[in-house]
Amino acid sequence: MHTEHITSPADRLTMRIREANRQGRKALIPFLPAGFPDSGDFWRQLDELDAGGADVLEIGIPFSDPCADGPVVEQASLESLARGTTLRGVLEELERRKGRYRAGIVLMGYLNPFLQYGLDALARDAARAGVEGFIIPDLPLEEDALCRGALAAEGLALIPLVASNTDEDRMRAYAGVAQGYVYVVSVMGTTGARTDLPAGVTATLERARRCFDLPLALGFGVREPEQLAACGDRLDAVIFGSALISHIRTQGSAASFMERWRRPVAELVL
């Protein structure tokens, strides 16, 4: 009897990035705060990102004290909060749209709203809505057991963040439990588009490559495809948020942003 191989949501995240790499390109992972630029248009923008070639969609859950976010993301998130955007509302709308997106769905947010929701309920409702993983910047490895366990019960990934100050021992500790992909932070500090990436990015990527078998996705400070030329095959995916938010504010559409990224990334870094 033929038995279909069933993969977990966390595994599907990895597979999406690997498939992009097999196609000869870096995976594209746009980040957009839920409810931006407004509660209705957010979903149109998400559709455009998906249709425009996103491999994973990172949806930011707005929070009043976003310690890792720069001014662009923070302002967009505060505006979304003021319009009444909630975690429950995002999950309910995602459940209504389940099956609509080609890209994987990851929720990125801070621990407090997730605790308020209830970790078991969060994992259950997220899985029901088609979410495949979570990124929680203010949850260190030493304190993530309850959250990781709740997500693992539904097959969801808890995606680690590593940076230039993450040594190999700590990276290997993360590698023992990590799923989905690895979020490599390009700069110390908060998010935000920058003209140039620090010289130490390649060393961080090389260290991460030695420690993780999962795909490496570079984020924080990514503004232009040309910034990635020096990274070469050290990275598998690119994450962009602040530059996308700024583009939507001025141009009104995510579609042209994705068009600008698709071909240059393939040409420059492969």
Q: Which residues are catalytic?
A: 58, 69
Paired tokens of 90 = 């995002």
**Any residues with CB less than 8 A from the CB of 193 and at least 6 apart, and which?**
72, 221, 222, 223, 240, 242, 243, 246
Question: In Å, what is the CA distance from 226 to each residue of 10, 105, 255?
Answer: 30, 26, 19
Tokens of 208: 């991460």
Burial class (CB in 10 A: 0-12, 13-18, 19+), 140: exposed
Is the torsion defined by CA of 254, 162, 6, 152 positive or negative? negative
Q: How far apart are the first and last CA of the chain?
A: 42
